[in-house]
C-alpha cells in the first residue's frame, strides 16, 4: 500500500492498466489498444463525469500512460488528446464545445491533435505568426480566417481536429495575443505533409499549412482574452504526461535489461553480477523513481488547482524523466551487447524514441532556462 503518494484507487488503476498493457505488449496494434483503453474508461479518466469522463485528474491519466509505456506500448496521443485538448476544453470551452468534444475524447471515438510549434519560432513560442483575423464578409455569425504554418505536429492524420495555437490582434492595444482554435481535419485550406522521422511509432509528425482557413465563430476555444491562461492550463498536463511517457519507456527498457542480465552468462556468473553492469542499472532505476516522484508532485499540485506551483514542478518532472529515460534506454541497449541492436530484442529503436522526451514539448535547455530565471532568479541571456 502506498498511502502518501498514491491512493488505493491509484494503485488499483496502476495494476489494472499494467494488466491491459501486458495483454497488448510491445509491437501491438495501437488502434486496438486505444479502443480497449477507451472502453475501460482509461483515456477519459481525467475528464469531467458529466461529459462521459472518469472525474479524475492528471494524476490518474499519467498513471495510465506510464503503465502502458512500462508494458512497451505507450500511446503518444494520450498526451495531446485527453491531456491537453480535453483539459483546455473542459476548463475553458463553452458549454457547446464541451458537449461536442468531451464525450468523444473520453470514449476514444474522437481524437484531437495539438499544434503550437512553428518552423521559424521553434522553442521561442512568443514568435509564432499563425494569425487569426475576423471573417468580415464570410459568415453572418462572424467567424475567423486562420493563416500560418506549423511543424512536427503529431497525429494530425488520425485526429478529427487539431487544436491550433494562433494569435489575434487586440482591438484596443493592437498587441497580438494567443488564441486557440479547433480546426477540423478536412477544413478547406488546411493541408498536411508528413515529415520523415527516424522514429518507429504509430503516430506520425506533420508539417501543416493553414492557407486562409475559414472557421466558424465557435472554433475559438473559450474567451478571446483568456488565451494565455488557457494555453498554460494545457501545457502543464502536457509536461506531466511527457514525464509519464518517459518514465514508462525507461522502466520498459530497464526491465528488459534486468531480465537479460540475470540470465546471460559468459564467465562464471550472469553478467548482472558484474558491478559495471549492475550499478548503472541500479542508477537508472533510482533516477526513474526520482523522476516519478516529481511527476506525482506536479500532478498533485495541478489537480489541486495550483497552476503556478504545478508549472515549476511539471517542468522539473519533464526534465528529470527525459534525462532518466535517455540514460535507462542507453544502459539497457548496452547491457544486451550485440543483442541490444537487433530487431528481435527491439531496444535499439528506443534510442531515438527516448530522445523525444528530451526535446519535446519543451527542450531540456528551455527547462534549465526556466528554472534559472523563475526559480533561481538569475538574469536572462536572451
Ligand atoms: C516526435 C516529436 C513530436 C512532436 N509533436 C508535437 C506536437 O504534437 N505538437 C507541437 O506543437 N509540437 C510537437 N513537437 C515539436 C516540439 O515541441 C519541438 O521540437 C520543441 O519544442 C523544440 O523546438 P525545435 O525543434 O524548433 O528546436 P529549436 O527551438 O530550434 O531548438 C534547437 C536546440 O537549441 C536549443 N535552444 C533553443 N533556444 C535556446 C536557448 N534560449 N537557450 C539554450 N538552448 C536553446 C534547444 O534546447 C535545442 O536543443 C514534436 C517534436 C517531436 C520531435
Pick the atom of ligand 1 nearest to 154's CA.
8
Per-residue pLDDT tens for 115-162? 999 999 999 998 999 999 998 765 666 799 999 999 999 999 999 999
Are 366 and 381 in contact by the 8 Å Cβ rule? The answer is no
Please give the distance, rounded to the nearest whole angstrom, from the Cα atom of residue 74 to the centre of ligand 1.
21
Please give the distance, rounded to the nearest whole angstrom, from the Cα atom of residue 258 to the centre of ligand 1.
32
Q: Ligand 1 in contact with 122 (CB < 6 A)?
A: yes
Are 21 and 68 in contact by the 8 Å Cβ rule? The answer is yes
Residues of the chain with pLDDT under 50: 1
Determine the 3-state secondary structure of 265 from DSSP: strand
What's the confidence (pLDDT) of residue 281?
A: 98
Please give the distance, rounded to the nearest whole angstrom, from the Cα atom of residue 178 to the centre of ligand 1.
19
Pick the atom of ligand 1 nearest to 199's CA.
1
What's the confidence (pLDDT) of residue 141?
A: 66
Please give the distance, rounded to the nearest whole angstrom, from the Cα atom of residue 115 to the centre of ligand 1.
12
Query: What values do phi and psi take at 322, rounded to 5?
Result: -60, -45
Q: Ligand 1 in contact with 201 (CB < 6 A)?
A: no
What's the confidence (pLDDT) of residue 139?
A: 61
Q: Ligand 1 in contact with 240 (CB < 6 A)?
A: no
Determine the 3-state secondary structure of 121 from DSSP: coil
Q: Is 209 exposed, middle or buried (0-12, 13-18, 19+ CB in 10 A)?
A: middle
What's the confidence (pLDDT) of residue 129?
A: 95
Question: Residue 20 corresponds to which cell in the numbers above?
Answer: 491491459
Residue nearest to atom 50 of ligand 1 (CA): 152
Q: Ligand 1 in contact with 235 (CB < 6 A)?
A: no
What's the confidence (pLDDT) of residue 225?
A: 80
Please give the distance, rounded to the nearest whole angstrom, from the Cα atom of residue 297 to the centre of ligand 1.
25
What's the confidence (pLDDT) of residue 177?
A: 87
Per-residue pLDDT tens for 187-210? 999 999 999 999 999 899 999 999
Question: Residue 41 corresponds to which cell in the numbers above?
Answer: 474508461
Residue 107 CB partners (closer than 8 Å, separation 6+): 38, 39, 43, 44, 52
∠ Cα 60 77 353 (to 5°):
100
What's the confidence (pLDDT) of residue 1?
A: 47
Amino acid at each position: 500500500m502506498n498511502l502518501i503518494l498514491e491512493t488505493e484507487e491509484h494503485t488499483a488503476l496502476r495494476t489494472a492498466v499494467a494488466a491491459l498493457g501486458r495483454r497488448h505488449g510491445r509491437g501491438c496494434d495501437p488502434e486496438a489498444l486505444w479502443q480497449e483503453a477507451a472502453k475501460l474508461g482509461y483515456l477519459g479518466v481525467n475528464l469531467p463525469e458529466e461529459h462521459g469522463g472518469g472525474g479524475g485528474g492528471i494524476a490518474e491519466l499519467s498513471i495510465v500512460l506510464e503503465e502502458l509505456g512500462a508494458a512497451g506500448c505507450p500511446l503518444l496521443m494520450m498526451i495531446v488528446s485527453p491531456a491537453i485538448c480535453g483539459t483546455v476544453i473542459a476548463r475553458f470551452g463553452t458549454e457547446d464545445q464541451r458537449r461536442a468534444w468531451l464525450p468523444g475524447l473520453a470514449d476514444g471515438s474522437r481524437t484531437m491533435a495539438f499544434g503550437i510549434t512553428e518552423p521559424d519560432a521553434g522553442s521561442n513560442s512568443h514568435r509564432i505568426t499563425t494569425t487569426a483575423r475576423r471573417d468580415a464578409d464570410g459568415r453572418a455569425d462572424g467567424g475567423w480566417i486562420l493563416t500560418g504554418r506549423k511543424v512536427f505536429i503529431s497525429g494530425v492524420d488520425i485526429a478529427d481536429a487539431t487544436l491550433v495555437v494562433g494569435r489575434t490582434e487586440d482591438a484596443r492595444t493592437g498587441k497580438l495575443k494567443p488564441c486557440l482554435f479547433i480546426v477540423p481535419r478536412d477544413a478547406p485550406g488546411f493541408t498536411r505533409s508528413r515529415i520523415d522521422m527516424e522514429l518507429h511509432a504509430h503516430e506520425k509528425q506533420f508539417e501543416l499549412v493553414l492557407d486562409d482557413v475559414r472557421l466558424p465563430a465557435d472554433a475559438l476555444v473559450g474567451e478571446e482574452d483568456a488565451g494565455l491562461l488557457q494555453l498554460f492550463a494545457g501545457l502543464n498536463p502536457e509536461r506531466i504526461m511527457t514525464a509519464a511517457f518517459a518514465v514508462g519507456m525507461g522502466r520498459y527498457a530497464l526491465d528488459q535489461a534486468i531480465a537479460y542480465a540475470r540470465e546471460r552468462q559468459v564467465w562464471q556468473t550472469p553478467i548482472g553480477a558484474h558491478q559495471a553492469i549492475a550499478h548503472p542499472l541500479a542508477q537508472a532505476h533510482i533516477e526513474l523513481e526520482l523522476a516519478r516522484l516529481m511527476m506525482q508532485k506536479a500532478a498533485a499540485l495541478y489537480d489541486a488547482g495550483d497552476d503556478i506551483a504545478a508549472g515549476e514542478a511539471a517542468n522539473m518532472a519533464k526534465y528529470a524523466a527525459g534525462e532518466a529515460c535517455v540514460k535507462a534506454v542507453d544502459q539497457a541497449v548496452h547491457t544486451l551487447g550485440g543483442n541490444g541492436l537487433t530487431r528481435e530484442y527491439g531496444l535499439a529503436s528506443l534510442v531515438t524514441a527516448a530522445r523525444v522526451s528530451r526535446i519535446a514539448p519543451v527542450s531540456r535547455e528551455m527547462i534549465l532556462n526556466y528554472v534559472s530565471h523563475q526559480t533561481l532568479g538569475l538574469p536572462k541571456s536572451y
